[in-house]
Structure 1
Amino acid sequence: MMYPLVSELADDGIPVVVSCRVLKLARQPYYRWLRNPVTRRELDEAYRANALFDAHRDDPEFGYRLLADEARDEGSEAMSDRTAWRIASANGWWSVFGKKRSKNGKKPGPAVHDDLCVVIDEHGRERHQFTASRPNQLWLTDITEHRTSEGRLYLCAVKDAFSGRIVGYSIDSRMKASLAVRAVRNAVRNAVRMRGPDAR
């Protein structure tokens, strides 16, 4: 937008009519902008960005969909997930758990931890096998969202791959990293209680 430049030139003593003629701008739209330099759309966008930033600062592990949910729950102006994605992308507000985007176009490197569930099939392809030969050898986790009359509720459960039983869980009104940490700690305490203090 060239209107701020016209305003700055006017402050420096250059007549508006001259600036508009050189920049090939009509004067009437410029004067309308001067009376209201911030449009309603720009103001709404700023409020939405502020709400998303507050949610991202409180929960940096959230992606844009959960940031939009948090902003809506806080009473901010409603916005679609697409709008939240556009604002978050423009400002670089990514989940701390998201994949890092390579700057040189190359694929990301290998995972920083071992994949204990990967097996090589008869065709030489990698696939995952979620089985165990004894209790507490392999645990699987998942988080589910439940809508209640008082708001959202998140449940993180830890399942033993050998027995198929839930060995630990945690519940919270917000889906944060601590939700999964508490569930795993609960499973570890239960395993120790079942097998004694020497359980690993």
Structure 2
Amino acid sequence: MRLNSDRGTQYASAQITAFAAENGITRSMGLTGICWDNAMAESFFATLKTEFYYRRVWPTRDRATREVGAWIEDRYNRRRRHSSIGQVSPVDFELQYSSETAEVQLAA
């Protein structure tokens, strides 16, 4: 997710800072004490872990990667209703937004 990340020492260490600079990597980090910077990412990962990941045993890393991706695409994006977007799924929200935007452009 392209959101501000945790400011844990493993992410803010001098070694990571130097590695990022040497390799042209721009890091995105929230400000200290601003707890809502990464609230959306925290919420997503909490949901993923609680509703899906920790309920299964993964025989291989590859299988876990594929099944997590499938869960995100099917359950999280297409079927799970989100309170922050009016109790609709992200896919339905995007479709509604696209329709409204197209109608406004046609009317103009």
TM bucket normalised to smaller:
0.3 to 0.5
Relative to the length of structure 2, the TM-score reads: 0.34
Relative to the length of structure 1, the TM-score reads: 0.22
Greater percentage in helix:
2
Greater percentage in strand:
1
Larger Rg: 1
